[in-house]
Amino acid sequence: MEPVNLTREDLAAVQEGKGKRTWIVFYTVFSLVLIGCGAWALGTRYALTEVKPHVFVWVPEDIHDFDGDPRFDVAGTAGFIIGQDGVIVVDTTNTPFHAREVRYEIRERTDLPIKYVIDTDSRGDHILGNEVFMDERATIISTPVAAAAMREYHRDLVKRMDAEGEPGLRMRQRMRGIHFTLPTEEINKEMAIGVGGEEVRLLLPLAGPTAGNIVVYLPASKVLFLGDLFENGYKPQIQGADIQKWVAYLREIATWDVDVYVPGHGAPGDKKSLADFIQVLENAGKTPSPQEDSSPNQATSGP
Ligand SMILES: [Zn+2]
C-alpha cells in the first residue's frame, strides 16, 4: 500500500510541479509578447521625415491619446526647420508629451536655440504642447484672432476641469501635467522670419476651417505648411466654414511652385494629394452632411 501512496503523492507533486512550470512558461512567453508589443508601440508612435534638407515633418500614429483634452485626443502633424542660427517649430501637437517627442527629434540633430514656434491654428490639437517651447524661450507666434480663440478655449477648459463629479475629475486627471500656454506674439500682417539660411514666410489666408490661421511657406525649399486648411487622408473639418473661399484658396496655392504640402493631419503630401483633398472639399460643399458638421471630431482628428 505504501509504495502506491508514495507514487500518488509523487504523481501529485510532479503534476503540481508541471503545472507551475507550465504557468511559468506561459507567463514568460506572455511577458515577452507584451514587452515586444510595447517596444513596437514605442517604435511607431510617430514618424519623422526630412521632406527637404533641414525641413522635418513629425506625423503622429493615428491613435487616440488618454492624456489631454478629450476633444482633441489626436495630435496634429507638426514640423521644424533647422537654420544656421536656430530652429523654427510649426505647431506643437495636442499635449506637451508629444511636443517633447518633437523637441527630442530636434535635439538629436542640433543644439541651436529654438527661436520661433508658429501656431497655425487656435485649436487644442495644434497648440497644447506650446509650454515645451516656452521652456526653450521661443517666441510663440499666432494671429490676434487665433489668440483670442485660444483664450476663450482656455476659459472653457478651466470650466470643464472645475466641473463637479466624474466629468470634472476625469478632465483634471487628463490635464494633469499640462500647462496651457498662450502665444507670446501676435501678428496681423504677413511677414518673413529667418533663422539663418532660407526665408520663412508667414502667410495669413482669409479662408479655411477656422479664422486666424497661419500658413508657413518656404519658397526655396518649396514646402508649404498648411495646418488644417489641408488634411491628408482625413475628412475636412468643415464646421460652417466658407467652402467656396477655402477651395479657391487651395486652388490658388496648388499652382505655386511647391513640392511638399504639409497638412494639419496626416503625412506630407504632393500636388496630387492636395487635388484629392480639394475634390473631397468640393463634394462636401455640394452635398452638406449635417452629421459630419455636428461631429467632425469623431470621424477625423480634432474639431
Ligand atoms: Zn487639427
Residue range 242-293, pLDDT digits in tens = 999 999 999 999 999 999 999 999 999 999 999 999 999 999 888 655 544 4
The phi and psi torsions of 221 (rounded to 5 degrees) equal -80, -15
**DSSP letter string over 30-51?**
HHHHHHHHHHHHHHTSEEEEEE
Per-residue model confidence (pLDDT) at position 182: 98
Q: Are residues 179 and 239 in the same domain?
A: yes
**14 CA to centre of ligand 1 in angstroms:** 61
Per-residue confidence (pLDDT) for residue 290, from 0 to 100: 52
In total, how many domains does the chain have? 2
Phi, psi of 139 (to 5 degrees): -85, 120
Could you tell me which of 297, 220, 284, 210 has the C-alpha nearest to residue 257?
220
pLDDT at 1: 38
Question: Does 95 share its domain with 212?
Answer: yes
Average pLDDT, the chain: 86
Identify the band that residue 9 occupies on the pLDDT scale cut at 50, 70 and 90.
low
The answer to whether 246 and 209 have CB atoms below 8 angstroms apart is yes
Cα separation values, 190 from 105, 143, 151, 215, Å = 29, 10, 22, 10
CA 229 – ligand 1 centroid, Å: 9
pTM of the model: 0.81
Tell me: do 33 and 128 sit in the same domain. no
**Measured in angstroms, how far is the CA atom of residue 86 from the centroid of ligand 1?**
26
The pLDDT of residue 35 is: 44
How, if at all, do strands 200-203 and 114-118 pair?
unpaired
Q: Are 22 and 141 members of one domain?
A: no
Task: Please determine, for residue 114, whether its predicted confidence score (pLDDT) is greater than 70.
Answer: yes
pLDDT value at 8 more than 80: no
Q: How many CB atoms lie within 10 A of CB 28?
A: 10
Q: Let me know whether 199 and 110 are in one domain.
A: yes
Task: Please tell me whether residues 192 and 62 are part of one structural domain.
Answer: yes
Q: What is the DSSP letter of 128?
A: T
Residues 27 and 88 in one domain: no
Same domain, yes or no: 52 and 200 = yes
Regarding whether 95 and 10 lie in a shared domain, the answer is no
Ligand 1 centroid, distance to 259 Cα (angstroms): 22
Burial (CB count within 10 angstroms: exposed 0-12, middle 13-18, buried 19+), residue 99? buried
Ligand 1 midpoint to CA 265 (Å): 6
For residue 235, name the pLDDT band (cuts at 50, 70, 90): confident
Instruction: Please name the helix (run of DSSP H) or strand (run of DSSP E) that holds residue 116, with its range, or none.
Output: strand 114-118
CA–centroid distance, 303 to ligand 1, in Å, is 7
Q: For residue 302, is pLDDT > 50?
A: no
Same-domain status, 8 and 73: no
Least-confidence region, from 87-101, 160-174, 281-295: 281-295
Residue 35 lies in domain: 1-43
225 C-alpha to ligand 1 centroid (Å): 13
- pLDDT tier for residue 87 given thresholds of 50, 70 and 90: very high
112 vs 44, higher pLDDT:
112
Q: Of 43, 60, 76, which closes a domain?
A: 43
Nearest-Å Rg of the Cα atoms of the chain is 25
pLDDT interval class at 298 (50, 70, 90): very low
